[in-house]
Structure 1
Amino acid sequence: MATRPRIRQRAKGALASEIAEAIHMRAYRPGEWLRQIDLEQAFKATRFDVRTALDELTVRKTIEHVPNRGYRVAEIDIRTYRAIRDTRVILEAAAAREVPPRMDAAALARLEVLAHEFGEAVRSGTRLRQSEINRAFHHLIYAHCGNPVLEETIWALRDRSRGSAVTVWTSHQALLNSDRDHHAMVAAIAAGDGERLAELTIGHIVKDMSEVPAALQPSTETSQRRGSEVSDEV
């Protein structure tokens, strides 16, 4: 008798974040249809947990639900992509200003470690490792903004932007820029300078999201091909 895959216990929302990260890393492409049974196997999760995660990601607009067809990774056009960028600038800069007085020495030490680990990953790590550390770094920062609703909204927007055709980092130089920004952010927090952290945050977002393809919409031919691959089993 075949051994059933071991189901992992996760905190509420954790599976949705794992699937969102997979989308971010292009394991699932913009416009790609998601089959529930495949997700159960890939993430070793129950049918109920996968359904709950898909519903949560739909609310976040990371994916979209098409009635009678299923769920697919959201596709974002360039106008929406830029609107997300501009909204992120407003929200993340506001959050950044509140972080320095709220981050204690232990959290700052952990942030310094993450900045160092990201630099190591830039030099010799995989793209997945780089992304994981980058996410942990920014999660730790926004966890200290003092407003859990603001924090949740920021991550919903970041997840939504993953439905674009833009890669995580466009070049090795982009990775080096992120590495430099991370260390500067740590220094700003250590100095208690919320305005400097907000300035760095704005530059970080704009640099990461400024170079986009001329068109983010898939071609008609691509859309038709994807439509022929739809599965109702989710």
Structure 2
Amino acid sequence: MEQSRARSATAPTAVSRTAVAPTAVSPTAVWPESVPDAVPFASLEASTGREPEPATRGEHTHSEPAPPKVVPQRHSVRDQILEALRDALLSGELVPGEVYSAPALAERFGVSATPVREAMQLLASEGAVETVPNRGFRVARYSPRDLAELSEIRALLEVPAVLALARSQPAERWTRLRPLAEDTLRAAACGDRTAYAETDRAFHRGVLELTGNRQLVAVAEDVQRRAHLSALRASPAPRTTDLLAEAADHLALLDALTDQDLPAVERLVRGHF
């Protein structure tokens, strides 16, 4: 009996481990004049520093299982950096024709070069940057011809799709999209080109998602993203009044869709590009 009590007193207990989630990337931290101290995105696992001793053979121990470790997803870091880089492209902080290396950007982000390089590769696939061997990535230049071609592609994709929706969707579907159109008006009123581009994409995505065609939505959004960059590079920056007029077209389009006014729908969609 005394020996049994002694064994029970020395039975090992479970050691729990926790993990610290990765710190969020701040887009404004990319472009300071001086490079900030690096804060690497890593999983920091807390530990007692001592592993439990194995149980005596034949002895049953009862303890709560250790909670699962929180493993930070590398893709989440990459996606945060991707959005920060897209904002910098739209705002002009990444200068057309300039070459940026992944390690230099990574140092400013306070992360390893891998997620930065992955984000830049995605931007290259979108046509926003070009790969320069052994140097990094050059911000793409766009010409008026590029903008005209992209506008033509958008019309080919969106006009037939929106006209088909105008014939088939009930009026209440368009009412649900009005908050997205109002978001574009607010962004336009602030003169914030980056915010306007984001809200404009959200509105068009909301409309095209009603088709149920995921590939159409993805391709149209990619072309629209290229068109936004092309417009910024190939023409003067739009004035607040221009943005407001474009945003007002969203509300006018919803009214035409609600009324199933097909000529007005086609005119507004084509004129939007």
Q: Compute the TM-score of the two structures, normalised by the length of structure 1.
A: 0.69
- CA RMSD across the alignment: 3.4
The residue aligned with 1:36 is 102
The residue aligned with 2:246 is 178
Q: Does 1:141 align with 2:176?
A: no
Q: Give the superposition deviation at 1:22.
A: 2.8
Q: Give the superposition deviation at 1:203.
A: 0.4
1:17-28 matches, cutoff 5 A: 17-28=83-94
- Greater fraction helix: 1
1:41-68 Cα shifts (integer Å, max 9, x gaps): 6667653332222222212212111222
Task: Indicate the structure whose relative CO is greater, using CA pairs within 8 Å and at least 6 residues apart.
Answer: 1
Q: Give the superposition deviation at 1:171.
A: 1.9
Q: Does 1:201 align with 2:236?
A: no
The residue aligned with 1:64 is 130
Q: Does 1:151 align with 2:186?
A: no
Q: Are residues 41 and 11 of structure 1, via their aligned partners in 2, closer, same or farther at CA, if it must alter by over 3 Å?
A: closer
The residue aligned with 2:39 is 4
Q: Give the superposition deviation at 1:5.
A: 6.0
Identity of aligned residues (%): 26
What is the DSSP-based 3-state SS (H/G/I as helix, E as strand, rest coil) of the residue aligned with 1:144?
Answer: helix
Q: 2:189 touches 2:240 (CA, 8 Å); kept in 1?
A: no
Q: Does 1:81 align with 2:147?
A: yes
1:160-179 matches, cutoff 5 A: 160-161=226-227, 162-163=229-230, 165-166=233-234, 170-179=238-247
Q: 1:130 aligns with which of 196, 221, 238?
A: 196
Q: Are residues 97 and 202 of structure 1, via their aligned partners in 2, closer, same or farther at CA, if it must alter by over 3 Å?
A: same
Give the whole-Å Cα distance in 2 for the aligned partners of 1:69 and 1:127: 30
What is the DSSP-based 3-state SS (H/G/I as helix, E as strand, rest coil) of the residue aligned with 1:119?
Answer: helix
Q: 1:64 touches 1:72 (CA, 8 Å); kept in 2?
A: yes
Q: Give the superposition deviation at 1:11.
A: 9.2
Give the whole-Å Cα distance in 2 for the aligned partners of 1:150 and 1:170: 28
What is the aligned length? Answer: 203
Segment of structure 1 superposing worse, 175-184 or 157-166: 157-166
Q: Give the superposition deviation at 1:183.
A: 0.5
**Unpaired segments of 5 or more residues in structure 1?**
206-234
Q: Compute the TM-score of the two structures, normalised by the length of structure 2.
A: 0.60
Give the whole-Å Cα distance in 1 for the aligned partners of 2:109 and 2:222: 21
Q: 2:40 touches 2:112 (CA, 8 Å); kept in 1?
A: no
Give the whole-Å Cα distance in 2 for the aligned partners of 1:79 and 1:69: 28
Q: 1:102 touches 1:146 (CA, 8 Å); kept in 2?
A: no
Q: 1:49 aligns with which of 109, 115, 118?
A: 115
The residue aligned with 1:215 is none
Task: Determine which structure has more spread, i.e. the larger CA radius of gyration.
Answer: 2
**Unpaired segments of 5 or more residues in structure 2?**
1-36, 43-71
Q: Which amino acid aligns with 2:39?
A: R
Segment of structure 1 superposing worse, 29-38 or 57-66: 29-38
Segment of structure 1 superposing worse, 175-184 or 188-197: 188-197
The residue aligned with 1:117 is 183
